[in-house]
Structure 1
Amino acid sequence: MCVLQTDRLCLHQLSTKDAPFILALLNTPGWLEFIGDRGVRNLADARNYILNGPVASYNQRGFGLYLVTLTESRLPIGLCGLLKRESLADVDIGFAFMPEYTRQGYAYEAASAVLTYARATLDLKRIVAITAPGNQRSISLLERLGLRYKAIIKLAGQTEESILYETS
């Protein structure tokens, strides 16, 4: 069942049946370089990632990262959704797509739907985003979505700096 639907995409809650896709996505070069190694090496790790991350967030907060699928084929192509990190005061938007589904407008389409949902349904007034300084594609997408540069930060437990963006 779709939580959010756009012309081309369906965003729905992850379940452990999505473990093969999560295993593949979390080990793509882009994820490892810009998001970080989550230690997901097999299907059991992927199931644990789903249960302890997105599913726990749905249960605790009513939102989380959603699986993005193509509407027609139901093929999974990425993740997009909302996260509440202890080290950030505000909810942040996150997204990641398989390399073969980048540069086709899917991330913008999914993230736009998530931002609308966050404001209209969840009544979130302020949304932030973090990205690696070298992730120009993510920076461009955040700016296209209307988020603006706020500061360079270091998240708790991280050694690398991140760029913080915010809604106006």
Structure 2
Amino acid sequence: MTFHIETERLILRELRPTDLNGMFELDANPEVHKYLGNKPVKTIEESQKILDSVFNQYKQRGIGRFAAIEKLSGNFIGWSGIRLNTEYNMNGYTRYYDVGYRFIPKYWGKGYATESGKAAVNYAFNELKLTELYATTHLENEASHRALLKIGLTYIEDFYFEEEAMDLRWYKIKSR
């Protein structure tokens, strides 16, 4: 699977094997995992498993997270995009498309979540012809909450996610 989406400041493309070091930098950072269950990866092999999982999603589901590349620097800054969740029950849903993002902390606070999220929603509705998308964020993650609202999602409700023992917020957006 290959694709290329450009925004004002970002290139969103399929994740590649060459993104391994960037994925490790991202997911080994405890600050990144503060609202994700506090389980950062400890080895590059764990990051390889995450990449392999996304590659498998591309093959089996035709979609998976996108690498986010900062145009100005050419740096891998994290990921964004759409995926089809079939792995676990999230707020009563077991098969749904979600929009999400995760960035290396030095790229936080620059509006990249909103910028990439809007591009991902546009791709989902205009290219994939999806009719709705969902998202979640940790109850205490106000920055992500604000970004999801700016992207255009509507906050629906809070819920408890038993699998990770976390209080989360649930969001939805419908195609227009």
Q: Which residue does the alignment assign to 2:170?
A: 164
Q: After the TM superposition, which of the residue ranges 36-45 and 61-70 deviates more from structure 2?
A: 36-45
Gaps of 5+ in 2: none
SS at match of 2:119: helix
Deviation at 1:31, TM superposition (A): 2.3
1:40 lines up with 2:41 in the alignment: yes
Q: Which residue does the alignment assign to 2:55?
A: 55
SS at match of 2:146: helix
TM-score under structure 2 normalisation? Answer: 0.87
Tell me if structure 2 keeps the 8 A contact 1:83–1:91.
yes
1:14 lines up with 2:20 in the alignment: no
Q: Report % sequence identity.
A: 25
Q: Which residue does the alignment assign to 1:144?
A: 150
- Structure 1 residue runs of 4 or more that deviate by more than 6 Å after TM superposition: none
Distance 2:130 2:99 in 1: 12
Cα deviation digits, residues 6-42 of structure 1 (max 9, x gap): 1211111112221111111012233211123556222
Distance 1:63 1:99 in 2: 25
Which residue type is aligned with residue 82 of structure 1?
Answer: I
SS at match of 2:170: strand
Q: Which residue does the alignment assign to 1:85?
A: 85
Q: How many residues align?
A: 167
Gaps of 5+ in 1: none
Q: Relative to total residues, which structure has the larger strand share, 1 or 2?
A: 2
Q: Which of 121, 124, 141 does residue 118 from structure 1 map onto?
A: 124
Q: After the TM superposition, which of the residue ranges 142-151 and 156-165 deviates more from structure 2?
A: 156-165
What RMSD, in angstroms, separates the aligned Cα atoms of the two structures? 1.8
TM-score under structure 1 normalisation? Answer: 0.90
Distance 1:41 1:67 in 2: 21
